[in-house]
């Protein structure tokens, strides 16, 4: 209410010189005062603020010494002073009256107006706290009744230090004002309850979010179950928790995943174990929570279904002391249990996928190992045959042995890796070393270097590139270094989404009439087929800038291109 309205009210309600004149003279005065009371009652949905405003307006309107408003607490059956204006013996909240005690308590008990011209002589009077050692002389107590019939909200008190008669229109005014105040109190209480419920719901959502983050922070099943058990006890206030689900084995049945704390886990045997399994089975059959008291074990169990994919797959069993009332706020527990069920299922799926990947990797390594052994056997047989063959046949057989051994390098690399990708620099280093050793034995007759960017290639491309590198190095040694040893440089670089493999030697170079498109050499035909068909790339063969031969292969790697790095020989 604005300050100028208070001034207007004070002017209208100035004490008249004629004591026989009534304070609320005329219907206009009463209507104006009631308007102010209604405005005060609806000025705020905050209960204490509204009551304090109403008490102030009523005291000014009635020209009383004090106006107090008591609110009734149904749970304790007591009236508590909640707001007061004017002279007051104490602060709100410090005065509490049982129902029926004093004039105020009598008005509340009978739900009827109580008027006391001489309050100390009233039959229901009790020694009310005095002001400056003076008791209140006159009192009017008006019960505040809710729109719901018979429901008591509180009592409105008007008190004066001097004896005073209250006129009928004043009483009518107070009863009308009490009705408006009761409505305002109801609205404020509903608002307070709604606001408190909203805050509680928000707090529950925040807690659920925290719980979800906690249980979603790991895919390790053991760690996850420990987190769920701990959080369930914190959330529910239970003495223990058991997580039980249907077994995934063909035999079916129920499986205890986790019980906590240790003293509760130790009790999972005998009759208690059978009782819990019976409760869980009932939850699975009905899909609803079950509250069951087990007097022989001294516990009560609240079992909630763990639901995933619209079906119950297990239950979260919360153990309470026998005689404890069932949980009231179950919505959050159900939400937590469903979240836990999904997290457990995800962790189990992850564990199965991890085990499946480990099995597949082991089988793949074994496969590569067996293929390598078979290739080594074939290479050994061809080497034996080459020793007994003529010069021309021996060269052909040696080329075949070299190609087969380049493939064994690939299977050596793949059999020792979890992932099927291989760094091209590492492949080049091993293949070049093996090819040079096959041609020269232990004599170091050729110098070679490997350098460039880190480019990863798939297992399929690894096989193709190993054959190509073997072919390029063999041709360089046999044709380029016929007059004596030389140098071979292998370079790898990334060009956008493509990779470039270069093999350069400083040998005698290509013949003057060399045409890579018309050449009928088996090695070149093999290389062209591997590049164009298997790699879907481009093959270039030409003279090197400083003499010798340069072979270049461009292709799109199926692995990942990483940062530049160099690997010297």
What does the alpha-carbon distance between residue 390 and residue 545 come to, in Å, rounded to a whole number?
38
Cα–Cα nearest to 278, from 307, 248, 244, 312? 244
What does the alpha-carbon distance between residue 280 and residue 245 come to, in Å, rounded to a whole number?
8
Crossing angle of the two packed helices 47-62 and 3-12, in degrees rounded to 10? 30
Residue spans of the domains in the chain: they are: 3-193, 221-354, 425-569
Q: What does the angle CA 559 – CA 560 – CA 562 come to, to the nearest 5 degrees?
A: 145
Higher pLDDT, 310 or 171: 171
Q: What is the 3-state secondary structure (H, E, C) of 54-76?
A: HHHHHHHHHCCCEEEEEEEECCC
Q: Which two tokens stand for residue 491?
A: 């370079």
Higher pLDDT, 480 or 139: 139
* pLDDT on residue 196: 60
What does the alpha-carbon distance between residue 405 and residue 96 come to, in Å, rounded to a whole number?
100
Higher pLDDT, 4 or 382: 382
Residues in the chain: 569
Q: Which two tokens stand for residue 505?
A: 């030697």
Higher pLDDT, 215 or 549: 549
User: Contact 84/66 with Cβ under 8 angstroms?
Assistant: yes
Which of the following CATH numbers is that of domain 221-354: 3.30.450.40, 3.40.1160.10, 2.140.10.10, 3.40.50.300? 3.30.450.40
What does the alpha-carbon distance between residue 565 and residue 426 come to, in Å, rounded to a whole number?
12
Confidence label for 270 from pLDDT (cuts 50, 70 and 90): confident
Confidence label for 569 from pLDDT (cuts 50, 70 and 90): very low
Listed as own residue / partner, the contacts of 213-217 with beta carbons closer than 8 Å and 24 or more positions apart are 215/339, 215/340, 215/343, 216/343
Confidence label for 302 from pLDDT (cuts 50, 70 and 90): very high
Matching CATH topology for 3-193 and 221-354?
yes
What does the alpha-carbon distance between residue 103 and residue 116 come to, in Å, rounded to a whole number?
8
Residues 6+ apart with CB under 8 A from 32: 12
Q: What is the pLDDT of residues 370-416, one digit of tens each?
A: 776 666 677 677 767 767 677 777 667 767 767 777 777 766 666 66
Q: What is the 3-state secondary structure (H, E, C) of 195-260?
A: HHHHHHHHHHHHHHHHHHHHHCCCCCHHHHHHHHHHHHHHHHCCCEEEEEEECCCCCCCEEEEEEE
Dihedral angle sign, alpha carbons of residues 157, 160, 164, 167: negative
pTM for the model: 0.43
Q: How far is CA 199 from the centre of its chain?
A: 20
pLDDT above 80: residue 240: yes
Distances (CA, A) of 492 to 436, 538, 559: 19, 15, 14
Listed as own residue / partner, the contacts of 279-282 with beta carbons closer than 8 Å and 24 or more positions apart are 279/303, 279/315, 279/317, 280/244, 280/254, 280/314, 280/315, 280/317, 281/254
Task: Specify the DSSP element, H or E, that contains 292.
Answer: strand 290-294
Mean pLDDT of 515-525: 69
Mean pLDDT of 262-285: 87
Mean pLDDT of 250-278: 85
Mean pLDDT of 161-173: 88
Give, in words, the CATH class of 425-569.
alpha beta
Mean pLDDT of 73-84: 85
Confidence label for 14 from pLDDT (cuts 50, 70 and 90): very low
Q: What is the pLDDT of residues 319-364, one digit of tens each?
A: 999 888 888 767 778 888 888 888 888 888 888 888 877 777 777 6
What does the alpha-carbon distance between residue 332 and residue 46 come to, in Å, rounded to a whole number?
29
* pLDDT on residue 141: 93
Q: Where are the alpha helices (DSSP H) in 71-158?
A: 102-110
Edge-to-edge strands of the sheet including 66-73?
Answer: 96-98, 78-86, 66-73, 152-160, 138-145, 114-116
What does the alpha-carbon distance between residue 517 and residue 521 come to, in Å, rounded to a whole number?
11
Q: What is the pLDDT of residues 101-116, one digit of tens each?
A: 889 999 999 989 999 9
User: Contact 476/507 with Cβ under 8 angstroms?
Assistant: yes
Mean pLDDT of 290-298: 89
Mean pLDDT of 283-300: 88
User: Contact 108/155 with Cβ under 8 angstroms?
Assistant: yes
Give, in words, the CATH class of 3-193.
alpha beta
pLDDT above 90: residue 142: yes
Residues 6+ apart with CB under 8 A from 457: 421, 422, 424, 427, 465, 499, 557, 558, 559
Please give the DSSP secondary-structure letter assigned to residue 328.
Answer: S
Confidence label for 21 from pLDDT (cuts 50, 70 and 90): very low
């Amino acid at each position: 209410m604005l300050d100028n309205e208070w001034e207007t009210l004070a002017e209208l309600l100035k004490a008249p010189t004629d004591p026989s004149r009534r304070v609320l003279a005329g219907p206009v005065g009463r209507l104006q005062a009631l308007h102010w009371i209604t405005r005060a009652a609806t000025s705020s949905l905050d209960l204490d603020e509204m009551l304090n405003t109403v008490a102030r307006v009523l005291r000014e309107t009635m020209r009383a010494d004090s106006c107090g408003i008591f609110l009734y607490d149904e749970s304790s059956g007591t009236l508590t002073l909640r707001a007061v204006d004017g002279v007051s013996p104490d602060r709100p909240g410090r005065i509490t009256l049982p129902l029926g005690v004093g004039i105020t308590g009598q008005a509340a008990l009978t739900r009827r107006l109580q008027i006391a011209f001489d309050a100390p002589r009233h039959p229901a009077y009790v020694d009310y706290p005095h002001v400056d050692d003076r008791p209140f002389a006159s009192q009017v107590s008006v019960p505040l009744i809710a729109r719901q019939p018979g429901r008591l909200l509180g009592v409105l008190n008007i008190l004066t230090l001097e004896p005073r008669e209250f006129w009928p229109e004043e009483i009518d005014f107070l009863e009308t004002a009490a009705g408006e105040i009761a409505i305002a109190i109801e609205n404020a209480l509903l608002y307070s309850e709604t606001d408190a419920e909203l805050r509680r719901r928000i707090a529950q959502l925040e807690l659920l979010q925290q719980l979800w983050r906690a249980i979603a922070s790991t895919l390790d099943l053991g760690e996850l179950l420990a987190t769920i058990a701990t959080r369930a006890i914190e959330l529910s206030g239970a003495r223990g928790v058991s997580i039980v689900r249907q077994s995934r084995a063909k035999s079916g049945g129920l499986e205890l995943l986790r019980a906590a704390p240790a003293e509760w886990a130790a009790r999972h045997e005998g009759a208690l174990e059978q009782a819990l399994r019976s409760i869980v089975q009932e939850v699975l059959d009905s899909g609803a929570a079950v509250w069951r008291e087990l007097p022989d074990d001294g516990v009560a169990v609240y079992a909630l279904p763990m639901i995933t994919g619209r079906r119950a797959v297990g239950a979260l069993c919360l153990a309470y002391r026998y005689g404890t009332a069932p949980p009231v706020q179950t919505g959050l527990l159900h939400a937590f249990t469903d979240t836990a069920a999904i997290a457990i299922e995800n962790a189990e799926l992850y564990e199965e996928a991890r085990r499946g990947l480990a099995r597949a990797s082991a089988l793949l390594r074994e496969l590569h190992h067996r293929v390598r052994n078979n290739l080594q056997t074939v290479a050994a047989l061809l080497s034996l045959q080459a020793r007994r063959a003529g010069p021309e046949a021996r060269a052909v057989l040696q080329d075949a042995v070299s190609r087969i051994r380049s493939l064994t390098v690939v299977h050596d690399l793949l059999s020792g890796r979890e992932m099927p990708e291989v760094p091209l620099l590492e492949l080049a280093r091993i293949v070049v070393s093996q090819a040079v050793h096959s041609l020269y034995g232990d004599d170091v007759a050729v110098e070679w270097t490997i350098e460039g960017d880190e480019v990863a290639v798939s297992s399929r491309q690894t096989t193709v590139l190993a054959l190509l590198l073997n072919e390029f190095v063999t041709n360089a040694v046999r044709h380029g270094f016929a007059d004596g040893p030389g140098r071979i440089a292998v370079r790898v670089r990334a060009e956008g989404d493509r990779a470039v493999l270069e093999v350069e030697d400083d040998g005698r170079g290509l013949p003057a009439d060399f045409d890579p498109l018309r050449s009928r050499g088996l090695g070149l035909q093999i290389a062209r087929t591997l590049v164009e068909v298997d790699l879907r790339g481009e093959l270039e063969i030409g003279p090197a800038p400083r003499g010798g031969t340069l072979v270049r292969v461009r292709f799109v790697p199926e692995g990942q291109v990483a940062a530049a790095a160099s690997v010297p020989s």
